[in-house]
Amino acid sequence: MLIGHSLGGLMVMQTLVHHTALFNAYIYIDPSMWWDNQALLKETKRALEKRHFAGTALYLGFANTVDDDILLNNIHADTTFDTKHLRSILTLQSYLEKNKQNGLNYTGKYYENDSHMSVPLIAVYDALHFLFNFYPIKINVKEENNPDPTYLVNKIKSHYAYASKQMGYKVFPAEELLNWNGHNALNKKQYEKAKRLFDYYLAIYPEIAAANACMGDYYQAINETKNALAYFEKSLAIQENAAIRKKVEKMQGK
């Protein structure tokens, strides 16, 4: 990811246009596209029209840098230097919006209530949401309660396989996601669904105490005491836990 602001941000568009593959995500904040008689703006126009940018994302955030009496929809009628910065950005925005054929994953936002100096904070925040919109997993109530024992675990696996592909390295679900959904299924007596979630949890976190304890909870729920004790004891060997110790002692009749 490459981030740039103002004049220093010119390298963002220069890199995107001339060395696209160096990064797969670019954040361009209130860029000084007017610089050098708009030379880079002209290069960008040609590149956006003729080249392909599939697999690359760009977020453009820009601020209100003109006087209040100048309206955005007729700013191009103004030819003074005071509006050249914003006019150049709006021209860049128009090039980006008109050239959807090039495959660039683009979005932009005008921050009317921000200045040139205040816009980076909010723009970077919004840009990260845009660039990583694939990352959070969304499970609605209907999906959560789907009785198919394979549905939820397959959704989670598929989601994180896609996230891993996008990130370029292996991404695993948070422990809490598997722990909570597994126990939710267990409480509803959806035992096969719970087991599949806990199996996945244990497969990716084999040396985590909580993962082993979850399998213990599953076997205890279906009255397989021997297996339950084995997983509880494995959990305790990794990390002592008073509640799990109490479960083991109770199962052993102590």
User: Which tens digits make up the pLDDT trace of 70-98?
Assistant: 556 667 667 778 789 998 999 999 999 99
Number of folded domains that form the chain: 2
Q: Kindly state whether residue 136 falls inside one of the protein's structural domains.
A: no
- b/e map of 185-214 (b: 16 or more CB within 10 Å)? bbeeebeebbbbbbbbbbeebeebbbbbbb
Residues 15 and 126 in one domain: yes
**Same structural domain, 159 and 212:** yes
Question: Domain boundary residue among 104, 131, 158?
Answer: 131
In a domain, 76, yes or no: yes
* Residues paired with 106 in a beta bridge: 58
CATH number, domain with residue 49 = 3.40.50.1820
pLDDT tens digits in sequence order for the chain, 254 residues long? 999 998 888 899 999 999 999 999 999 999 999 999 999 999 999 999 999 999 999 999 999 887 665 556 667 667 778 789 998 999 999 999 999 999 999 999 999 999 999 999 999 999 999 999 999 999 999 998 898 999 999 999 999 999 999 888 999 999 999 999 999 999 999 999 999 999 999 999 999 999 999 999 999 999 999 999 999 999 999 999 999 999 999 998 86
pTM: 0.78
Which structural domain range is residue 156 located in? 141-251
Kindly report the CA angle at 237 between 236 and 243, in degrees rounded to 5?
10
- 148 in the same domain as 101: no
- Same domain for 6 and 121, yes or no, is yes
Given this model, what pLDDT does residue 68 score? Answer: 66
Distance between CA atoms of residues 37 and 127, nearest Å: 28
**Domain end (from 106, 131, 156):** 131
Please, which residues have CB within 8 angstroms of residue 78's CB and are 6 or more apart in sequence? Answer: 70, 87
For residues 69 and 22, state if they share a domain.
yes
Asked if residue 214 and residue 182 are part of one domain, the reply reads yes
| Residue 13, domain member (yes or no) | yes
Radius of gyration of the CA atoms of the chain, in A: 27
Q: Rounded to an integer, what is the distance from CA 173 to the centroid of its chain? A: 13
